[in-house]
């Protein structure tokens, strides 16, 4: 009871219970408390239990920032992704979190959206806190951001894209090749008048442009784009508008699976046979893709592999000064199902 009372007094005076407060309340030195928390095998069972009981009663939380300053080593990795909910990046985040945690690092997520200026503002806030590493989505960043990251000397992994001039480390794939593969697949299955339904961010537009180029001008391919991130309703409305203006389209390449789901729903509402009358191919292979009606043909990116590689490369560079591999092309897979 006396410990809890003293802790309340400490919180009132300082705003939080500190290591010094715990030591004073238990009647031992600060060094002893630190050993009990970080190297429990170095203290007696009795002392260890007293420290643990005090921690339970007071709600003491270690000051990780102070600890990292004292050791000159942060255990925090920051990852910026464009969107979180319903995102193709979820696998990457899950794998990144697990791999980093197993090595004693914590992951902090930031949602950058698809606006370059927003990413720059986030990086301003992040770099000053000196994380151990940074994971970025994509490779196109403002020149100010690139200069800031280079000057900071913090290990950086760019993901989900390919470039010849990465900031530091790179794990990705070619969005241009994704668009070409989707076009080749549809052409081989008889599509001659395709359309595109896509989010409007840079990576999605790279896929769309490559898709158009792969058809060699055989058909003036109509394109419907919406602001990123796209939603199911965007796909429904896009197909409705496309069919009103181009009733003879026979295939749709969707820049996101969620849009493809909307396209399938709109096609069903119009009694259009998929894939007989209209072939549909998506991008992302999200967890619902195999369960649509018909199951969605789509492009799969191994997000889990990207997350694991990003964590491994960052940890190697943080702890050893260099990673065994600095650039990895993970490629992609075309998953053939009933919609095309």
**DSSP code at position 40:** G
340 within a domain of the structure (yes/no): no
Q: Which residue has the tokens 């894939």?
A: 275
Q: Which residues of the chain have pLDDT under 70?
A: 1-16, 61-73, 85-86, 115-117
Which CATH number covers residue 41?
Answer: 1.10.260
Same domain, 292 and 308: no
48 with 147, same domain: the answer is: no
Q: Do you know the residue count of the chain?
A: 340
In a domain, 277, yes or no: yes
For residue range 217-243, what is the model confidence (pLDDT) as tens digits?
888 999 999 998 899 999 999 999 999
Domain span at residue 128? Answer: 74-173+304-330
**Residue pair 234/259 in contact by the 8 Å Cβ criterion:** yes
Q: Is 68 among the domain residues?
A: no
Q: For the chain, what is the domain count? A: 3
Give the angle 83-89-91 at the CA atoms, nearest 5°. 140
Q: What is the pLDDT of residues 267-297, one digit of tens each?
A: 999 999 999 999 999 999 999 999 999 999 9
Residues 156 and 39 in one domain: no
Cα separation of 212 and 226, whole Å? 18
Q: Give the pLDDT of residue 251.
A: 98
Answer yes or no: pTM beyond 0.85.
no
Calculate the alpha carbon distances from 26 to 14, 15, 209 in Å. Answer: 18, 19, 67
Same domain, residue pair 120 and 39 = no
Pairing of strands 106-111, 76-81: parallel
Give the bridge partners for 223, in sequence order: 196
In this structure, the answer to whether residues 113 and 47 fall within a common structural domain is no
Q: Give pLDDT, residue 8.
A: 44
Tokens describing residue 194: 């395709």
> 3-state SS of the chain: helix, strand, coil percent to 5?
50, 15, 35
Determine the pLDDT at residue 255. 97
**Same domain for 240 and 142?**
no
Residue 335: inside a domain: no
What do you get for the CA distance between the two ends of the chain, in Å? 70
277-302 b/e with 16+ CB inside 10 Å = b?
A: ebbbbbbbbbeebeebeebbbbbbbb
């Amino acid at each position: 009871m006396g410990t809890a009372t003293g802790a309340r007094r400490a919180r009132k005076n300082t705003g939080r219970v500190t290591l010094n407060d715990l030591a004073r309340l238990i009647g031992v030195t600060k060094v002893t408390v630190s050993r009990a928390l970080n190297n429990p095998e170095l203290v007696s069972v009795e002392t260890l239990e007293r420290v643990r009981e005090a921690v339970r009663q007071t709600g003491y939380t270690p000051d990780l920032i102070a600890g990292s300053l004292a050791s000159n080593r942060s255990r925090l990795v920051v990852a910026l992704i464009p969107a979180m909910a319903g995102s193709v990046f979820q696998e990457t985040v899950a794998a990144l979190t697990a791999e980093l945690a197993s090595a004693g690092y914590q992951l902090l997520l930031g949602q950058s959206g698809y606006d370059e200026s927003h990413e720059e503002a986030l990086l301003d806030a992040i770099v000053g806190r000196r994380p151990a590493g940074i994971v970025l989505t994509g490779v196109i960043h403002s020149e100010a951001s690139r200069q800031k990251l280079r000057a900071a000397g913090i290990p950086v992994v760019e993901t989900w894209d390919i470039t010849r001039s990465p900031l530091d480390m790179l794990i990705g794939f070619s969005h241009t090749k994704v668009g070409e593969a989707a076009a080749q697949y549809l052409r081989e299955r008889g599509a001659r008048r395709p359309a595109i339904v896509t989010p409007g961010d840079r990576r999605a537009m790279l896929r769309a442009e490559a898709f158009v180029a792969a058809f060699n001008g055989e058909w003036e391919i109509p394109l419907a784009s919406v602001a990123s991130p796209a939603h199911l309703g965007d796909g429904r409305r896009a197909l409705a508008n496309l069919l009103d203006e181009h009733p003879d389209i026979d295939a749709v390449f969707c820049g996101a699976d969620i849009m493809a789901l909307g396209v399938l729903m709109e096609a069903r509402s119009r009694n259009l046979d998929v894939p007989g009358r209209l072939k549909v191919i998506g991008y992302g292979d999200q967890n619902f893709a195999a369960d649509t009606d018909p199951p969605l043909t789509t492009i799969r990116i191994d997000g889990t592999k990207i997350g694991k590689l990003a964590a491994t490369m960052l940890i190697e560079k943080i702890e050893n000064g260099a990673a065994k591999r600095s650039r990895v092309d993970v490629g992609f897979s075309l998953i053939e199902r009933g919609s095309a």
